[in-house]
Amino acid sequence: MKKFVYIVTDRNRVNLHVGISSDLSKTLSFYKQMPNLFFDQTQQLTRLVYFEELKTEEQVLNRFKLLSRFTRIQKERLVRSCNPDWIDLTPGYQFEKSQQHLLNQIALPLNILS
């Protein structure tokens, strides 16, 4: 089962939050539905700026512990190495997930014909 380590931030990049999830789409929608749960209105964590997909629980926990110990500058460098403009990666991730689901649906009938 796929697991994710991610970094989310607010629109002003004031807060950087490191987290773990097995369903990144569900986690991101939770952040958007419950914006005031962790911070006030101006600091809503709604932008996914970095994520890694890992295969095992042990890898995820080790990476999470490492990223959690990073200083703010180290986290910013990590994000900039993959996402220099700090764009929200949520739409791209959700599009990729929907395309994968669509490909799985198409592959099933083709397998039956073989």
pLDDT at 93: 66
Among candidate residues 50, 53, 10, the one with its CA nearest the CA of residue 31: 10
- 39, amino acid identity: F
pLDDT tens digits for range 51-109? 999 999 999 999 999 999 999 999 999 999 999 999 988 876 655 655 454 445 544 45
Instruction: Provide the number of structural domains found in the chain.
Output: 1
pLDDT at 29: 83
pLDDT tens digits for range 12-45? 888 899 999 998 888 888 877 775 665 566 677 8
CATH number at residue 31: 3.40.1440.10
Q: Could you tell me how many helices (H) and strands (E) the chain has, helices first?
A: 4, 3
pLDDT at 33: 77
Task: Please state, in angstroms and rounded to a whole number, the distance separating the CA atoms of residues 17 and 9.
Answer: 6
Domain that holds residue 57: 3-113
pLDDT at 114: 46
**Residues 25, 93 contacting (CB under 8 angstroms):** yes
- Assessment of whether the complete model's pTM goes beyond 0.85: no
